Amino acid sequence: MSPVSRPSPHGRSPLRTVQVLGGGNAGSSTHVRSLASGLAARGVRVTVCAPAEADHLYDFTGAGAEHVHVPRSSDPGAVAALRAACTDADLVHAHGLHASFRAVLALSGRHTPLVVTWHDRAYAEGARAHLVRLLERRVVRAATVVLGTTSSLVDRARRTGARDARLAAVALPGPPGGPAEPDDPDRHRSKVRAELGATGRPLLMAVGSLEPHRGYRVLLDAARAWRGLDPEPLVVVAGEGSLRAVLQRRIEDEALPVRLLGRRDDVGELIAAADLALLTGRWEARSVFAQEALRARVPLVATGVGGTPELVGDAAELVPYGDAEALCDAVLRLLGDPGRRALLADKGVRQAATWPTEDETVNQVLSVYDELTQPTPLP
């Protein structure tokens, strides 16, 4: 069903925006779906340009937006498709570095305002790291406004040459239709733990792609010290990536109490069943996993990097990145201190209550759009 445009509150034709996604990770995709729903409810026409599989997963059309399939690549065909979709747009809003770069190419020669949201840093090493820096510079200098999800991302955008960089309010939206609560949460939790092999032993949960920046090599180093404990903690990791074979070989060779679960569509249930959540990466912005853990009252041990300290406040145990001993010690202290775990669970809920709501997020974005598209009043 085509979205219906409501009258503009400014007495003009309804504002038409184009939201541009690349591959669309979970954080940026849920954010765009939430924006699409909120903007459409406020009378804004929304087109989401993203690969078809992203619409299948996040149902942008169901949120009230028009979806246009644009491949993730930056080849001329993809750029031409995006350029056509942006025709007559009042404003284009791109999410992530690669989507933003395609938007810059597609808007070349036009005066359409471009808003860019940096949800996270792009990771690259060697020669590719230099290319990423060049892309970042090209994007932020072309953008009318850069929104960063953390203070450190805003600072990075300013250092890179952004004309206008601001801190973004970004909510953690729930799944479409709201979360499904089991009839008997305790029984469901026990069932999940039994399926994972964690009956009668602590369950430690990590979520994220199996890539170098996630810090899973350090996690395996820490797990060596947990072997032979009674009861022995079990670490489960939900995610997939290029390091799977390397990590699995270490797990088997060293008999580590770790299971790689691959991609899962029940991450919320897994988190709710865990005793501790572990976030071990070398840089995080507003980690969706960290937010879900705190909301679920699951104590979090995280590396104190990027936007994580700003996000969690004093509601988590923070350790240095790359320090397996510090990670191991923090986990063992929490496992042996039920009172501290209960305190962190309570603090987590209070911290989550300070995060922006979906309405606040949409209202902030809409105020930026209005600022960039409303006619300048005559003196």
pTM: 0.85
Is a pLDDT exceeding 90 seen at residue 9? no
Percent of the chain topping pLDDT 70? 93
Which pLDDT does position 8 carry in this prediction? 45
Which pLDDT does position 187 carry in this prediction? 87
DSSP state of 159: H
Strand 276-279 vs strand 258-262: parallel, antiparallel, or unpaired? unpaired
CA atoms within 13 A on the CB side of 136: 22
- Please give the CATH number for the structural domain made up of 185-352: 3.40.50.2000
- Please give the CATH number for the structural domain made up of 16-171+357-373: 3.40.50.2000
Q: Is residue 143 classed as helix, strand or coil in its secondary structure?
A: coil
Residue 379's pLDDT band, with cuts at 50, 70 and 90, is: low
Cα–Cα distance measured from residue 120 to residue 307, given in angstroms and rounded to the nearest whole number: 9
Cα–Cα distance measured from residue 48 to residue 282, given in angstroms and rounded to the nearest whole number: 31
Cα–Cα distance measured from residue 207 to residue 277, given in angstroms and rounded to the nearest whole number: 9
Which pLDDT does position 271 carry in this prediction? 97
Cα–Cα distance measured from residue 210 to residue 244, given in angstroms and rounded to the nearest whole number: 6
Identify whether 231 is preceded by a cis peptide bond (ω within 30 of 0).
Answer: yes
Is a pLDDT exceeding 90 seen at residue 90? yes
Residue 130's pLDDT band, with cuts at 50, 70 and 90, is: confident
Q: Judge if 16-171+357-373 and 185-352 fold alike in CATH terms.
A: yes
Which pLDDT does position 7 carry in this prediction? 45
Sign (positive or negative) of CA dihedral 96, 99, 102, 106: negative
Q: Which of 19, 67, 62, 15 is nearest to 42 (CA)?
A: 15
Percent of the chain topping pLDDT 90? 78
Q: Which of 307, 279, 314 is nearest to 293 (CA)?
A: 279
CA 33 from chain center: how many Å? 13
Domain boundary assignment for the chain: 16-171+357-373, 185-352
Cα–Cα distance measured from residue 282 to residue 306, given in angstroms and rounded to the nearest whole number: 8
Residue 248: both structure tokens together: 């699995």
Q: Which of 98, 135, 114 is nearest to 23 (CA)?
A: 98
CA 177 from chain center: how many Å? 20
**pLDDT digits over 271-315, tens only?**
999 999 999 999 888 999 999 999 999 999 999 999 999 999 999
